[in-house]
Structure 1
């Protein structure tokens, strides 16, 4: 019986040359369809994994085993049954999905309430470690070049329209506020109170659209990039995926990792990308940008905006 059970499940990821490329949805379906073949302890672990995908994404083998009520060897066994050589690539499927819409906000929030133990870092430490990892992933050589190229495109634009929706608005607002100190032609599209379509309809050839968006992607972001393409406007996007629907036809896409144990995607790496982009823009623009920043600071100090 044990031999037939093993033969029936060891190739769970069959159909993909690399089982590590299997999606979370595919992995969960494969596990669900083979539950009746699993031994009691592996079954217990599999049920926990199916019901708590967000917890899997940021747990160690021991931490996940403690939560599932099994021993660590059972978790490793489950990963191997799923077609992975070790636990890490198995967990990576869940971690990648946490940064997309495969794991929804409610599931992510529920994961915050899971039991803790001495072997697991506390939640704040996990959030910090993940944020640091995201920043390290962002600032790879190829990404740095992408940021420089995007900066050149924005500096060369006549006007820069900035947009972000829902939680992405925070990054768009920061970019527009900090950017206007050096580049007065930056406009936050939602600032005037006009419908976004009315504001962006003012874009012309020679302008640029800077937009922040990540999964699940808003309809407004998609419409904004489509309008920009129609008008022949340069598009620079900060997003969590090169293949997001909004990136089609974009001139520059800065891909930022947004994984994290919190219930919304992490904005830390996105903020760092905006900061790096603005710094590159100032460096490229040179003295005129520095002069503009100095003049801005003098104005706000003159009207008593700061407390000394």
Structure 2
């Protein structure tokens, strides 16, 4: 039987043989897209400029990697085809085709189909000339659609187990992601009183983080431009042995290395500020998963909170 044609040309193979400065393998044999992405994120700071361009394109364009030819992907990434081959080799794959198969399998699992809803939104509003309104809607549906993938479903379950097993949970997010951290802490604390929002006000970051150590978890939010305070909080907790769940905009984020679990969330928008819609949706998904699969105490905590609020007159009763 004739062997399948390789996507790597003789010239590319020659380049690969002659350029070994980046070819020390990281971890061999990744079989899932999240494992590949995590390896790329860990290796990214040490890559050469060409491999950084290649890795950046791979992280940001999984669908294109899955279905484009190696030459087309290389052209879009502004690198040579052999750079993509070397990147695949660096991650422990025998060939670029083997590397690409991981992306093809993941893309076939795909996000929940929301593009139809986005198209419907555009159709319903087509009689107006408010393109900004339409573009924001399209971006919102696309961002959330990218969140609900098979890999993320497994990752959410893993993160929920980590949160449920933690002694204490610190939540960190400053500036553009403070709303995400606050929402996680406010809603999460209703069911899990061991959650603490880290504010870092008036030089209190070290004091607030001092009690956290092994057996604890920190949930960190950060989008580009990444806040120095967020990086500092992550460094402090990592040094203390705290497990980190990182929610960020790309696996090239400096928050990713060393994280126990990473969620890259889409935040594209025509708005002048990064969208937090996917991050807030992820927060709600994580907390729902914790209550659904956690001990009965969590449900009791929610019921007790609501009773206390009503007893104190926190809500306006409808007639």
TM over 0.5: yes
**Which residue does the alignment assign to 2:165?**
156
CA distance in 1, matches of 2:294, 2:305: 16
1:146 corresponds, among 137, 149, 155, to 155
1:242 CA displacement: 2.0
Q: How does 1:87-98 map to 2 (within 5 A)?
A: none
CA distance in 2, matches of 1:212, 1:235: 11
- Can you give the 5+ residue segments of structure 2 that lack an aligned partner in the other structure? 1-52, 55-69, 80-125
CA distance in 1, matches of 2:206, 2:156: 27
**Which residue does the alignment assign to 1:113?**
none
User: RMSD of the alignment, in Å?
Assistant: 2.5
**Which residue does the alignment assign to 2:239?**
230
Runs (4+) of structure 1 exceeding 3 A deviation are 15-24, 117-121, 191-194
CA distance in 2, matches of 1:243, 1:192: 28
Q: How does 1:1-308 map to 2 (within 5 A)?
A: 18-20=71-73, 122-190=131-199, 195-308=204-317
The change in CA–CA distance for 1:127 and 1:254 in structure 2 (over 3 A counts) is same
Deviations 1:42-93 (A, max 9, x none): xxxxxxxxxxxxxxxxxxxxxxxxxxxxxxxxxxxxxxxxxxxxxxxxxxxx
Count of residue correspondences: 204
CA distance in 2, matches of 1:193, 1:268: 29
1:243 CA displacement: 2.6
Deviations 1:260-297 (A, max 9, x none): 11111111111101110111111121311100000011
CA distance in 1, matches of 2:299, 2:201: 27
CA distance in 2, matches of 1:136, 1:161: 28
The change in CA–CA distance for 1:22 and 1:269 in structure 2 (over 3 A counts) is farther
Q: Which has the larger radius of gyration?
A: 1
**Which residue does the alignment assign to 1:103?**
none
Deviations 1:73-115 (A, max 9, x none): xxxxxxxxxxxxxxxxxxxxxxxxxxxxxxxxxxxxxxxxxxx
1:153 CA displacement: 0.3
CA distance in 1, matches of 2:312, 2:217: 32
Give the TM-score normalised by the residue count of structure 1.
0.61
The change in CA–CA distance for 1:21 and 1:298 in structure 2 (over 3 A counts) is farther
CA distance in 1, matches of 2:185, 2:146: 25
CA distance in 1, matches of 2:224, 2:142: 19
CA distance in 2, matches of 1:207, 1:276: 21
- Can you give the 5+ residue segments of structure 1 that lack an aligned partner in the other structure? 1-14, 28-116
Deviations 1:140-164 (A, max 9, x none): 1001111111111011000101110
Q: Is the 8 A contact 2:147 2:266 kept in 1?
A: yes
**Local SS of the residue matching 2:220:** strand
Deviations 1:120-170 (A, max 9, x none): 762112101110111001111001111111111011000101110001000
CA distance in 1, matches of 2:144, 2:220: 20
CA distance in 2, matches of 1:151, 1:206: 14
